[in-house]
A and B are shown apart, each in its own frame.
Chain A
């Protein structure tokens, strides 16, 4: 199947979103966001793939060899590191929420705030 990686990326996005919607724990929600991010990485890198081509590192192969797309790889690799830091920010927010409301259940907190 030649659209299988794209379907896997869409599946990861959907399953992660389902987890975010039906979550009862903010940390579980953050990790479901991680699953959604994984879906976007799979999508980007699958678009850049070329059959029978090599990695875009030119030590030892001539500069005109067939390589996969380096642009999407550059985007994905900065993305991976930056999203880890955003996860840190979200964890700090969850720690603050727990301190103020005494709970990390989204439904319970929305009931408290009403």
Chain B
């Protein structure tokens, strides 16, 4: 970087940080801000939707449209990763490397045992976090990542072959991602069809326990499926490239 550019960057940075810090002093004092919308959203989540987790209710019901937008950012990023990495076509440049014969003996026995043992419990925990989204901290996003990581643990456990077989049915994983993304929109359209706004909460709210909150458990489920599918697709693409390139 030339000296002129460096000077300009420094001046710009100082101005930006200084200006932001100056505006920070104009914000309401930490801990004393009165949120009117937030207070209403929090207060009405239990009586109105019978769902205890106000954050999840806000994300999937009151601000469900924002969440659809965020979910589609996720979907588009995953599609872009697939487009970028599948086009690498290593085979075109030089002879393809076969998978190293010793690929499954790379890790110590302890790592493989612990990795294999943890896959099941992690998957159960992930499913639990997704389905209890409206009752305790959790929901579709967190549980989906846990589920995706549970399957990706097979990589740590040295079970490359499992992931290769999963990768062979690539359409299955892509479909998972798409089903999740489309599911949320379907739920919204259900609200549209039943003579109401998009994403209106049309199912009965229930009293207490698991089936409360109307469409919120379904939205959690569809987002959980989508995020898990996204994690699996991204890891499969990165892993595929790693196996194709040979020893590293």
Direct contact of A and B (CB under 8 A): yes
Whole-angstrom distance between the Cβ of B73 and the nearest chain A Cβ: 5
**Of A50, A72, A107, most B-chain CB atoms within 10 Å:** A50
- Closest residue of chain A to B233 (Cβ to Cβ) is A88
Whole-angstrom distance between the Cβ of A76 and the nearest chain B Cβ: 9
Do the beta carbons of B27 and A47 come within 8 Å of each other?
yes
Taken residue by residue from 1 to 31, chain B's Cβ proximity to chain A (1 for < 8 Å, 0 otherwise) reads as: 1000000010001001100110011010111
Question: Given A17-B16, A71-B37, are A3 and B24 neighbors across the interface (CB < 8 Å)?
Answer: yes
> How long is the Cα–Cα vector from A18 to B38 in the complex, in angstroms?
34
Report the interface size class on chain B.
Answer: 35 or more
Question: Given A17-B13, A82-B73, are A49 and B88 neighbors across the interface (CB < 8 Å)?
Answer: no
Of residues 72 through 99 on chain B, the ones whose CB sits less than 8 Å from some CB of chain A are 73-74, 77-78, 80-81, 84-85, 88
Residues in B with CB closer than 8 Å to A77 are: 55, 59, 139, 141-142
Of residues 27 through 71 on chain B, the ones whose CB sits less than 8 Å from some CB of chain A are 27, 29-33, 35, 37-39, 41-43, 45-47, 52-59, 63, 66-67, 70-71
- Closest residue of chain B to A1 (Cβ to Cβ) is B30
- Closest residue of chain B to A21 (Cβ to Cβ) is B9
Of residues 34 through 66 on chain A, the ones whose CB sits less than 8 Å from some CB of chain B are 46-51, 55-59, 63-64
Do the beta carbons of B59 and A81 come within 8 Å of each other?
no
**Of B21, B39, B46, B77, most A-chain CB atoms within 10 Å:** B77
Of residues 72 through 86 on chain A, the ones whose CB sits less than 8 Å from some CB of chain B are 72-75, 77-82, 84-86
Q: Is the interface of B mostly helix, strand, loop or mixed?
A: helix
Do the beta carbons of B54 and A56 come within 8 Å of each other?
yes
- Closest residue of chain B to A10 (Cβ to Cβ) is B20
Q: Does A67 contact B (CB under 8 A)?
A: yes
Residues in A with CB closer than 8 Å to B54 are: 56-58, 67, 70
User: Which of A3, A55, A68 is B29 in contact with, Cβ under 8 Å?
Assistant: A3
> How long is the Cα–Cα vector from A64 to B66 in the complex, in angstroms?
26
Question: Given A3-B25, A78-B67, A89-B80, are A71 and B35 neighbors across the interface (CB < 8 Å)?
Answer: yes
Question: Which residues of A are interface residues toward B (Cβ below 8 A)?
Answer: 2-7, 9-11, 13-14, 17-18, 21-22, 46-51, 55-59, 63-64, 67-75, 77-82, 84-86, 88-89, 91-93, 95-96, 99, 107
